[in-house]
Amino acid sequence: MKTDIGYQPAFLGTKLKVSLPIADAARKGDIAPVKDSKDSLLHYPHHSVTLSKTRKLPIFAAVNIDGNQFRSLKRGDLFQSGSDEWTIDKRAADYQWGNDLYSATGSDFDKGHMVKREDPQWGPDDSIASDAARSTFFFSNCAPQVGELNRQEWRGLEDFILKKRSVPDKLKINVFTGPVLAENDPEFAIEIKGQRVQIPTLFWKLIYFTPDGKTLYRVAFLMGQKELLFKRKIVKPREEELEGFIIESTIFDNYEDAAMYQVNVNVVEKLTGLHFSPANDPYRDDRPVKLILKEVEVDGLESFSGSEGPGFELEGIVL
């Protein structure tokens, strides 16, 4: 696997550069080192990942998607075994949770891709696309997600981005994704190798796109799994936390659950300690962060079938 062709900031055009996010002082100090890397980034075909030293999870993942070169490949054909094969990336081996976490008794959560398997699955031929898709199966690119989130709402949003916008419209887009690594995240019910593991309760996604090749837009989404984690008794509040903890700290601008999941970019920046490249923000929401966080929880009561998700529709910007 080639590792020197990660996320490209000028992917949308030299005048529409979208740089990797800049971490504030606290988050910057938590960036995990990467062997033989000066920028502490793990580069893969069409995408890059930055890891947290303390949490052993991604701080963010960044991917370039080329809808015009997307290759439709079967997931079962990627590996000789016919099944997913997750591995530790040896370039940052000490800063990833592996199977010890995901196969532990009572885990009951998925290995949630941060860069969706199909997002970098593009190129001039199937070989290149397959290589890129396989590269998403490193533990550096996943975080624990409850199934109702990973396979339903989160997947629906991801499929909307790729299969209802990028591929049909032959769009190039940049997508940034990650968990919110909050200090008061609850802990997994049991220790892993003698260590307490905090499980993220929130996940975010930020999309950059251009409808005309001249103007850059961005939209952000936030989804929560706190209620699902506690309902399933997968986690417990940290000992030092009080009861009822709450985190304090177009094309893509309209789907039917926008009021629940779409947020201002500055909300993501406040929660993550990351600062993103400027662009036009078609979405506006002046509600307090506390109120927004209460509304982005996935309750697990809704379900849908099919790879296209629940029929998301985004408003505000039309190509």
d(CA 187, CA 212): 46
> Quick one: pLDDT at residue 287?
67
Give dist(CA 212, CA 206) in Å, integer.
Answer: 19
Which CATH number fits the domain 22-295, given the four candidates 3.40.50.300, 3.40.570.10, 3.30.1330.20, 2.60.40.1180? 3.40.570.10
Span 6-13, mean pLDDT? 96
- Residues 6 or more apart in contact with residue 222 via CB below 8 angstroms: 180, 202, 203, 204, 261, 263, 267, 268, 271, 292, 293, 296
Give this prediction's pTM: 0.87
Q: Distance (Å, rounded) from C-alpha 34 to C-alpha 50?
A: 9
For 178-206, the pLDDT digits (tens) are 999 999 999 999 999 999 999 999 999 99
Report the amino acid identity of residue 175: V
Of 46, 42, 52, residue with least CA distance to 70: 46
Euclidean distance between the first and final Cα of the chain, in Å?
Answer: 36
Residue scoring higher pLDDT (194 or 238):
194
- Mean confidence (pLDDT) of the chain: 84
pLDDT at 10 over 90: yes
8-state DSSP, 315 = -
Please tell me which residue, 174 or 223, carries the higher pLDDT value: 174
pLDDT digits (tens, 9 = 90+) for 283-307: 877 766 666 666 667 665 443 334 4
Q: How many CA atoms lie within 13 A of 98 on its CB side?
A: 12
Confidence (pLDDT) at 147: 82
Position 33: which residue type? P
254 — pLDDT class (breaks 50, 70, 90): very low
The mean pLDDT of 142-162, rounded to a whole number, is 82
Give the Å distances, CA to CA, from 214 to 11, 88, 279. Answer: 13, 40, 11
Residue 46 has pLDDT above 80, yes or no: yes
Q: What's the pLDDT at 278?
A: 96
User: Taking residues 217-243, what's their average pLDDT?
Assistant: 81
pLDDT, residue 291, reads 60
Per the model's pLDDT, the better-predicted residue between 53 and 237 turns out to be: 53
140 three-state secondary structure: helix
pLDDT at position 258 is 42
- What are the phi and psi torsion angles at 67 (to 5°)? -65, -25
Confidence (pLDDT) at 87: 97
Residue 310's pLDDT band, with cuts at 50, 70 and 90, is: very low
* The Cα angle at residue 257 between residues 251 and 260, in degrees rounded to 5: 115
Write down the pLDDT at residue 272: 96
User: What percentage of the chain reaches a pLDDT higher than 90?
Assistant: 59
Residue type, 109: F
**Tens digit of each residue's pLDDT (9 = 90 or more) over 99-129:** 999 999 988 889 999 999 999 999 999 999 9
